[in-house]
Every structure is written in C-alpha cells, then in structure tokens.
C-alpha cells in the first residue's frame, strides 16, 4: 500500500512510500480508504506545531477519512466487507465526558492517520457512511463536522429563533452554518471575501459581514436583532476575534471556543464576561456517541458538506496544505486516495 509519511516537520518533508498491507486482528477491520479531507490541525501537525504529545517522526498524517471495509478480523459484528465507513476522530472517546486518556486517541496526531490506502481500525472506531454521501463528503465529517455539531447543538444548545454567528468560511464554520440552520436559527456569517460571502449565503447564512472591510463587526451584528446580541458565537478566530465576539454576544449568551486562527494569546477585559454572564466554553471535537447522533441528523436531512472546488491526490498533499494555508478554500479540501 501507499502511505504518506512525516519524518521531520515541514510540508517539504511529506513523502509517499510503499508499506506492506496490514491485516486486521480480532475485533479489528481493514479499511480501504478512498478519500480524506484536511483540517487546519493537520497543517499544524505536519509542521510540528500541535503540542508536545504529537508524533513528529515516522507518522502518517490526516485525521479524517472514509472508504469501505476490505476485510474483517475474528469476532467483528458491526461491519462486513464492502460496507462504507467513516472514521471517528477520537478513536477511544466513545461516550460521555472526555478523559486525559481518550483525548490522546486523535487520528493523525498521536495515532497514525488516514493518508494511507489501507488502515486497520478497531470496529468501534468507525461508523457507517450515510447513504446519500460520497466518500469525499463523508471524509469531511469527523473533525470539522463533529466540532461544529458539538458547538452548535450539544454545547451551544441552539434552538429556533436564536441568532448564531460563524467566523470565516473554512471547514468548521461552513458546517456550523448548516447545523445552526437545521436547528432553526438565524445565522450571521463573516468572511474576508465577498465572493465567499455569496457562497455562504447559498449555504444558508441569512446575514453576512466582510470582516476585512468591517473589522469592528460586533455593532452591525447586534443591530441585526435590535441590539439584543447573538445567542452563540462559533469562535474559530481566537485572539484576533474574541473581543468582537464578547461585544457581539447577548447577556447570558455563549461563546464556543474552537480555534485560534488569528492568534493564541490575548488580553481581554474579564469583567465584560462576568458582568454580562457570558458562557465561554471550550470545544474539542466529540465522542463516538455524538458522532453517531450527528450522522443520524445528516442522514435524515440529507445534508451535504461544503467541499472546496479543488481536489488533490495523495502525492499532491503539500500543494493541498499550501492551498489551505493561503486561505483560498471554501469549506473542506478533499484529498483523493
Ligand atoms: N477544538 C476543536 O476540536 C477543533 C476542531 C477543528 C478545528 N479547530 C480549529 O478551528 C479553526 C478552524 O479550523 P478549520 O479546519 O475550519 O480551518 P480552515 O478550514 O482552514 O478555515 C480557515 C478560514 O477561517 C477564516 N479565518 C481566518 N482568520 C480569521 C479571522 N481572523 N476571523 C474570521 N475568520 C477567519 C478564513 O475564512 P475566510 O477566507 O472566509 O475569511 C479562512 O479561510 C482552527 O484554528 C482549528 O485548529 C478546532
């Protein structure tokens, strides 16, 4: 089989190599991966900047992949050869609250990832692919999809009539727009590009703001509902956006902290959070139980993830990451395997 290996940090060090085909043991399945998608985290991981626990030598990157079952090991009951499947991001976080241990089971960071033609998974590390989705669409779901689901549905508790703010038009944010609409909310989406704002309106956003043209977007956002403020901010910007988010959210509202695209360290006025009873809550993807709840909703509503127009091959992974770093994409970038 062909796999992509990282042996030292840097996009220029990604190498496609041949490895012997693996075989599934008891309780395991062998998956022929057909597609993967990129997350911003994968870029950080390949560049060696994703914390002290990530592997940097002889590891296979990318967390999100989908394909079909090539073979099953002894005692496997969940799947049979030919079934289409998608991997769960945290292989060992099955349900309930996370633990230190199961948070160390992310694919393509601590564990080998899916940039590989074949990969063995425990049978509980996968879920059936919703029938209406292509493998590329299914591969968009594990990290970006589940993170947006956790933020908007489980932690953000979005209900009809809410106003939800999303930032930019990357993987997490485009899913957040779709899930917020599914929950009956009104969505205000930001982007640095007017062309992408048109696309995010087509995806369901009701209001749009160009954050490059309007860096102080909190006031126009609050004006949308007569000054009340948003119920939920899906915060992917981090240091560069948090202050505007705090000003845009309503008293008693929630900011789900997901990403730090514009910086990790920031000083802000804590009293603003305290006196307006703002809930600041971290989101870290989700469990298998949450993944399967999301898959049921996606299946029932025949929701299709937003995929970028450009598709890359396994050998083109450095170019795919460069495309992501340049911020030219909309939604998820697909890598065909
Ligand atoms: N906590 C978790 O479990 C979790 C899971 C997934 C991702 N994340 C994090 O969430 C963030 C987004 O990940 P992703 O994979 O969705 O990234 P992505 O697809 O690369 O999205 C990048 C987009 O974000 C927008 N952006 C960049 N700077 C911005 C700013 N200052 N204000 C508003 N938008 C901005 C840009 O959109 P426009 O081009 O439209 O301006 C850019 O295209 C990353 O920091 C990632 O590490 C965390």
309-320 pLDDT tens trace: 999 999 999 999
Measure 317 CA to ligand 1 centroid, in angstroms.
Answer: 19
* C-beta 261 within 6 A of ligand 1: yes
Mean pLDDT of the chain: 96
pLDDT in the model for residue 120: 98
Residue 252 pLDDT level (bands cut at 50, 70, 90): very high
Q: Torsion angle, CA of 201/205/207/208, rounded to 10 degrees?
A: -60
Mean pLDDT of 20-42: 97
CB atoms within 10 A of CB 285: 26
Indicate the DSSP class of residue 237.
S
106 lines ligand 1 (CB under 6 A): no
Predicted local confidence at residue 16, as pLDDT: 96
Which of 104-113, 126-135, 180-189, 199-208 shows the lowest mean pLDDT across its residues?
A: 104-113
Rg (alpha carbons) of the chain, rounded to whole number: 20
**Coil, helix or strand for 192?**
coil
Binding site membership of 122 for ligand 1 (Cβ less than 6 Å): no
The answer on pLDDT for 267 being more than 90 is: no
Which of the two residues, 164 and 239, has the higher pLDDT score? Answer: 164
Q: What is the mean pLDDT of residues 48-66?
A: 83
What pLDDT shows up at residue 290?
A: 98
How does pLDDT run across 34-52, given as a tens digit for each residue? 999 999 999 999 988 777 6
268: enclosing H helix or E strand: none
- Determine if ligand 1 sits within 6 Å of the CB of residue 171: yes
What is the pLDDT at residue 159? Answer: 98
Hey, which of 168, 202, 242 would you mutate to test ligand 1's pocket, going by the most ligand atoms within 8 Å of its Cβ?
168
Instruction: Note the maximum CA span of the chain.
Output: 62
State how far the Cα of 205 lies from the Cα of 197, in Å rounded to an integer: 9
Q: What is the number of the ligand 1 atom nearest to the C-alpha of 212?
A: 41
Q: Whose CA is nearest to atom 34 of ligand 1?
A: 168
| Residue ranges with strand state E in the chain | 2-6, 14-18, 28-37, 64-72, 84-87, 118-122, 126-128, 163-167, 186-191, 207-210, 230-235, 249-257, 279-282, 307-313, 332-336
């Amino acid at each position: 089989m062909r796999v992509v290996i990282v042996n030292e940090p840097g996009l220029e060090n990604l190498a496609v190599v041949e490895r012997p085909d693996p075989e599934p043991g008891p309780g395991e399945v062998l998956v022929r991966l057909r597609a993967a998608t990129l997350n911003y985290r994968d870029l950080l991981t390949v560049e060696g900047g994703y914390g002290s626990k990530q592997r940097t030598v002889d590891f296979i990157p990318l967390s999100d992949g989908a394909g079909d079952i090539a073979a099953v090991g002894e005692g496997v009951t969940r799947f049979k050869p030919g079934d289409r499947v998608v991997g769960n991001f945290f292989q060992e976080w099955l349900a309930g609250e996370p633990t230190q241990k199961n948070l160390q089971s992310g694919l393509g960071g601590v564990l080998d990832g899916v940039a590989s033609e074949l990969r063995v998974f425990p049978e509980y590390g996968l879920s059936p692919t919703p029938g209406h989705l292509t493998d590329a669409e299914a591969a968009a779901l594990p990290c970006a999809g589940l993170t947006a689901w956790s933020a908007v549905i489980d932690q953000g508790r979005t209900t009809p009539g809410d106003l939800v703010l999303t930032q930019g038009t990357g993987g997490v944010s485009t899913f957040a727009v779709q899930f917020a609409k599914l929950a009956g909310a009104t969505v205000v989406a930001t982007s640095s590009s007017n062309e992408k704002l048109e696309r995010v309106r087509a995806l369901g956003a009701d209001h749009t703001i160009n954050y490059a043209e309007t860096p102080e977007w909190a006031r126009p956002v609050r004006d949308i509902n007569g000054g009340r403020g948003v119920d939920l901010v899906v915060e992917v910007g981090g240091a560069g956006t948090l202050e505007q988010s705090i000003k845009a959210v309503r008293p008693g509202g929630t900011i789900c902290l997901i990403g730090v695209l514009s910086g990790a360290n920031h000083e802000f006025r804590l009293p603003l959070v305290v006196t307006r009873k703002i809930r600041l809550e971290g989101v870290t993807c989700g469990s298998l139980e949450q993944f399967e709840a999301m898959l049921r909703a996606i299946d029932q509503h025949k929701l299709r993830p937003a995929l970028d127009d450009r598709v890359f091959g396994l050998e083109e992974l450095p170019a795919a990451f460069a495309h992501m770093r340049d911020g030219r994409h909309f939604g998820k970038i697909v890598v065909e395997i």
